[in-house]
Amino acid sequence: DQQVKQNSPSLSVQEGRISILNCDYTNSMFDYFLWYKKYPAEGPTFLISISSIKDKNEDGRFTVFLNKSAKHLSLHIVPSQPGDSAVYFCAASAGGAQKLVFGQGTRLTINP
């Protein structure tokens, strides 16, 4: 039972445009959400997070939106750059830093 789902295995975006990556979850106990970025042959690295008490969090070109009623979060990257090409994982926590539940990942490709 996949509690965190990323339904798009891949996404291709033109350089300079907006990239929107989506994530859905089923567990209403999740109270903290994170996005990780992963390059080939490296471990995932933390990108941005959001608490369930907020609906938006920004960090430079990256913005995460949370819609609790729809159990949906999205990551916006504006403008997209070639270095953003990577696999992006969303993750969720139900009250503890030690236990994260991850989605399947979305491979983002930024085309020049």
Partner 1 sequence: EAQVTQNPRYLITVTGKKLTVTCSQNMNHEYMSWYRQDPGLGLRQIYYSMNVEVTDKGDVPEGYKVSRKEKRNFPLILESPSPNQTSLYFCASTTNRDAFSYEQYFGPGTRLTVT
Binding site for partner 1 (CB under 8 A): 4, 6, 9, 32, 34, 36, 41-46, 49, 51, 89, 91, 93, 96-105
Residue with tokens 């996005």: 35
Q: Could you count the other beta carbons within 10 Å of the beta carbon of residue 68?
A: 15
- Of 87 and 110, nearer to partner 1 (C-beta) is 87
Q: How far is the CB of 100 from partner 1 (least distance, A)?
A: 6
Q: How far is the CB of 5 from partner 1 (least distance, A)?
A: 9
Q: Is 73 exposed, middle or buried (0-12, 13-18, 19+ CB in 10 A)?
A: buried
- Of 47 and 77, nearer to partner 1 (C-beta) is 47
Q: How far is the CB of 104 from partner 1 (least distance, A)?
A: 4
* CA nearest neighbour of 49 among 75, 80, 67: 75
Q: How far is the CB of 99 from partner 1 (least distance, A)?
A: 6
How far apart are the C-alpha atoms of 89 and 39, rounded to whole Å?
11
- Of 34 and 77, nearer to partner 1 (C-beta) is 34
- Of 18 and 46, nearer to partner 1 (C-beta) is 46
* CA nearest neighbour of 32 among 75, 81, 96: 96
